[in-house]
Amino acid sequence: MSNIDQCRDIEELNPLCQILLNKALEEIKTAGINPLIVETYRSQMRQNYLYSIGRTVAGTKVTWTQSSIHTLRNAVDVVPQRKVNGNMTAIWKASDSETKKIISIMQKYGFEAGANWTTSPDSPHFQIKGVSKNAKSYSSTNTNSYITKMIQKALNETVDGKWGANTTKAVNKFRKQFGWKEDGKVGVQTLKKLIA
Ligand SMILES: [Zn+2]
């Protein structure tokens, strides 16, 4: 596999992102939708290559950025696929009802949806933005409003997207049930339990 090939492997994503994505995919399938993972991790070399299309290489532009969250292992592209005239077909349409359902489920699990961007909306794109590159846990100092909302909802706390003292307290209370250190962090094990 060359460095500019497309990668669809979920295991190439950040471990926390993997947990949230797998949980969302489970719910998407339960809703009767057949999701197609189009792309997960993207090497910087592939991002640069995609950026060159329509600029230094002939073709129509496919991306507007050289610094994608895909390169940080925290983004995934998902579209629904279903039979159209007997052929399994990927649906690339923001107004499609299955696309809309995927967007609402992915948001529930803390992903920011590209469909909601006001400039250059990208309906198959979902990302976890603003957390450190190799994040092993979410905490008051390493989160974003989408992730915080998801965690607050799972903890039955007020959902305001702001990780304050009350959120830390609720995280610690949750951790305590399992005999874990009250460090205010939601790591891989806590996240698994939290959204189980
Ligand atoms: Zn994307």
Q: What domains are defined for the chain?
A: 10-127 (3.30.1380.10), 137-194 (1.10.101)
The CA distance from 145 to 73, in Å, is 19
- pLDDT on residue 3: 81
pLDDT score for 1: 62
Q: How many helices (H) and strands (E) does the chain have?
A: 6, 7
Residues near ligand 1 ion, CB 5 Å cutoff: 77, 125
> Whole-model pTM?
0.94
Task: Confirm if 34 and 80 have CB atoms less than 8 A apart.
Answer: yes
Per-residue CA distances from 64 to 46, 55, 109 (Å): 14, 10, 26
Distance 127 CA to ligand 1 centre (A): 8
Compute, in angstroms, the gap from residue 137 CA to the centroid of ligand 1. 23
Which token pair is 159?
Answer: 């959902």
- How far, in Å, from the CA of 106 to the mean position of ligand 1? 13
Radius of gyration for the alpha carbons in the chain, expressed in angstroms and rounded: 18
Q: What pLDDT is stored for residue 7 in this prediction?
A: 96
Residue 105 Cα to ligand 1 middle (Å): 17
Give the orientation angle of helix 165-176 with respect to helix 145-154, to 10 degrees: 50
Q: In angstroms, what is the span from residue 124 Cα to ligand 1's centroid?
A: 7
- Ligand 1 centroid to Cα of residue 12, in Å, is 14
Structure tokens at 132: 């450190």
pLDDT tens per residue, the chain (196 residues)? 678 899 999 999 999 999 999 999 999 999 999 999 999 999 999 999 999 999 999 999 989 899 999 999 999 999 999 999 999 999 999 999 999 999 999 999 999 999 999 998 999 999 999 998 889 999 999 999 999 999 999 999 999 999 999 999 999 999 999 999 999 999 999 999 999 8
How far is C-alpha 143 from the geometric centre of its chain's CA atoms? 13
